[in-house]
Structure 1
Amino acid sequence: MYIEMNEIVEKLAGLLKIPSPTGDTSAAIDFVGNLFRELGIKTVLTGKGALIATIPGNDTSKSVTLSGHVDTLGAMVKEIKDNGRLKLSQLGGYIMSTVEGEHVQISTLDGKKYTGTLIITKASSHVHGDETRTLDRTTSNMEVRLDEVVSNREDVESLGIQVGDFVSFDPRVVVTPSGFIKSRHLDDKAGVIAIYGIAKQIINEGLSPKFTTHFFISNYEEVGHGASAAIPDDTFEFIAVDMAAPGEGQTSDEFSVTICAKDSTGPYDLELRKRLVELCKANNIRYKMDIYPYYGSDGSAALRSGYDLKVGLIGPGVDASHSFERTHRDAIEETIKLGVAYLTEK
């Protein structure tokens, strides 16, 4: 199977550069929707703004759903401080030290965009000495320094910035000659672009899925309820396509598709996992098996919401998850291969 990975990586870089913190994802949803529609695939939006693209299958009596999430870690303005700086409230589970010094963008309700930098409140070691080094990196001790001439709350409010405005982190996307993609928010934009790659491969090769196939692009996964509703009613199997997490004690790597056996919510479906492993072996797909003790997925959300489904989880290995992440194009390619085999092989 030949997959045009240069085009896939190019589309991934474009998606990564679109700010989409949980709750402010419409631009990224539009981007992905356009990718599907360019393939001739019909799309619809759910009530809370998720995207569903559908390819009819040979058997239309029931369907399978593959899900990835386009929402990312981010923040909201919690407070405009007297010194003209911003205190934040987190969106998603990340350690504040991993975003210290990051460039940010603030999006106001009236569509204005402002930039700034997230720093600790005592950032200068020349002023604060050892306190700069020892200060706890928490939301209480960190603030956004705006790139505007402001010195108090009134100055900031005059710009149109207010509590509740969304804050996104600069992804700093880099694609290396050796095939690595370095960026924030590969969780789960690498998974979303793999789903697009699966759909593109099916369309371009003239393949027919065994069952009608829905591609569900969720937009609230980072806060736990991404695929908790609106999964098509005739779905009997659900595959979450989300990042795998390499690290100490894990088998995942940045070059393979990982099949997750269990995460913090419990085991994924055994029969479905066996079938995914058999497909990897039969098609020479590089794969790993892993367990994630501090992890949940859209599959977890679907099960918690009471859906009666077989649920599996696959995805490309992403190093340093919820920090400054990295994956390799090979991991995305192997994920695409497994997705195509799962949907089309008898």
Structure 2
Amino acid sequence: MSKDYVDYMVEETRKILAIDSPSGYTREVADYVMEEYKKLGYEPQLTVKGGILVAIGGRDKENAVQLEAHIDTLGAMVAEIKSNGRLRVTAVGGMNANNAEAENCKVITRFNGNYEGTLQLINASIHVNDEYDGIKRSYDSVEVILDENVKTKKDTEKLGIMTGDFVCFDPRTTVTKSGYIKSRFLDDKLSVGILLGYAKYLKEENVTPERMIYQHITVFEEVGHGGAASIPEGVTEVISVDMGCVGEGLACDETQVSICAKDSHGPYHYDVVSGLIKAAKENNIDFAVDVYPHYGSDADVALTAGYDVRHGLIGAGVYASHGYERSHVDGVKNTFELLKAYLG
């Protein structure tokens, strides 16, 4: 049974990853996810900010749980059309320029369609640029080269490109025969796929959890305020389902579900973390508990916004965060199983 749901979650993740959605440009992907909830038999609501809020069932509405994942991603925005027709860009969220270098991208104009291009180091030909190796990569040392015959600022302006247009990077999604899921923006579209899978499981298996469960798909997490609103009355616990960190000094790998005990904002609620660990142990779920050194979640933001709730953070292990990321179908499965075990 779990394999069928995992296959669904991976396939939905693929579909969501294929829809560009840097923070601030998320309506198309939100529309897709809204329709998927409706197909599952739910009644999602679009929040004023553009996120999705949906009740997926449960008995106790006075002690409800809200699960949060985000569909907004990293990206860039046109900051200047240069005299040679190329584009200076500014980051949307935390993608490092050295990680985005040489990636294909799209420029989304407001009124004149989309144009393809590549983010490249300025003077990117290594046979010409004597300083190539020593140049510090930043958004001042890279530029978007359009796949259009433009040579001047006026040429580019004639295409309808202007300052403030979004730049979306190619996710390059692939799933290997061995079960590894590789793509940009698994943070956090993989978790959105998992939440859809959990909602599908409750509906199809006719499961009614003890506590009412809401799912909130946020759209401004990467810029810091995704979870700052839209928590219904009666919610006493918020759990972010986001990527689990994988790296040196941490225990989690891509095949596990990570339970975060503390991130850069501070400890998660002791009872929530303990309950998640207990559920994982009692159900033989492959998990790790970690402390994330550079991390903030939608659950953190909910507390910062003043909500009086307990908070937690889990997620499938993801390596190379904010770069070309990698997870595994077993990490998806273990995250799904932990939601089932903890929430019922």
Question: Normalising by structure 1, what TM-score?
Answer: 0.97
Q: 1:10 corresponds to which residue?
A: 11
Cα deviation for residue 95 of structure 1 reads 1.7
Local SS of the residue matching 2:214? strand
Q: 1:139 corresponds to which residue?
A: 139
Q: 2:116 corresponds to which residue?
A: 115
- Inter-partner Cα distance in structure 2 for 1:323 and 1:239: 24
Q: 2:260 corresponds to which residue?
A: 260
Cα deviation for residue 94 of structure 1 reads 2.4
Cα deviation for residue 61 of structure 1 reads 3.1
Task: Write out per-residue CA displacement over residues 247-293 of structure 1, whole angstroms, 9 at most, x where no aligned residue.
Answer: 11011110011100000000000011111111111111111100111
Task: Write out per-residue CA displacement over residues 133-189 of structure 1, whole angstroms, 9 at most, x where no aligned residue.
Answer: 111111111000000110011111111100000011000011111101110000001
Q: Within 5 A, what are the aligned runs for 1:1-346?
A: 2-4=2-4, 5-110=6-111, 112-129=113-130, 131-344=131-344
Task: Write out per-residue CA displacement over residues 102-158 of structure 1, whole angstroms, 9 at most, x where no aligned residue.
Answer: 0001101115011000001121111112x1111111111100000011001111111
Task: Give the gaps of 5 or more residues in structure 2.
Answer: none
Q: Which amino acid aligns with 1:193?
A: G
Cα deviation for residue 50 of structure 1 reads 0.7
Task: Write out per-residue CA displacement over residues 65-95 of structure 1, whole angstroms, 9 at most, x where no aligned residue.
Answer: 0000000000000000000000001011122
CA contact (8 A) 2:62 2:235 kept: no
Q: Which amino acid aligns with 2:225?
A: H
Cα deviation for residue 307 of structure 1 reads 0.7
Q: Which amino acid aligns with 1:102?
A: E
Task: Write out per-residue CA displacement over residues 192-233 of structure 1, whole angstroms, 9 at most, x where no aligned residue.
Answer: 111111111111111002122110000000000001111112
Local SS of the residue matching 1:318? strand
Moved more, 59-68 or 154-163: 59-68
Q: Which amino acid aligns with 1:202?
A: L
- Inter-partner Cα distance in structure 2 for 1:320 and 1:159: 36
Local SS of the residue matching 1:115? strand
Local SS of the residue matching 1:303? helix
CA contact (8 A) 2:2 2:333 kept: no
- Inter-partner Cα distance in structure 2 for 1:327 and 1:144: 29
Cα deviation for residue 56 of structure 1 reads 2.8
Matched positions, count: 343
Identity percentage of aligned residues: 45
CA contact (8 A) 1:202 1:340 kept: no
Q: Which amino acid aligns with 1:22?
A: S
C-alpha RMSD of the superposition: 1.0
Q: Which amino acid aligns with 2:211?
A: F
Q: Which amino acid aligns with 1:275?
A: G
Q: Which amino acid aligns with 1:196?
A: L
- Inter-partner Cα distance in structure 1 for 2:194 and 2:9: 8
Cα deviation for residue 35 of structure 1 reads 1.6
Q: Which amino acid aligns with 2:195?
A: I
Q: Which amino acid aligns with 2:335?
A: T
Local SS of the residue matching 1:262? strand
Q: Which amino acid aligns with 1:93?
A: G
Q: Which amino acid aligns with 2:70?
A: H
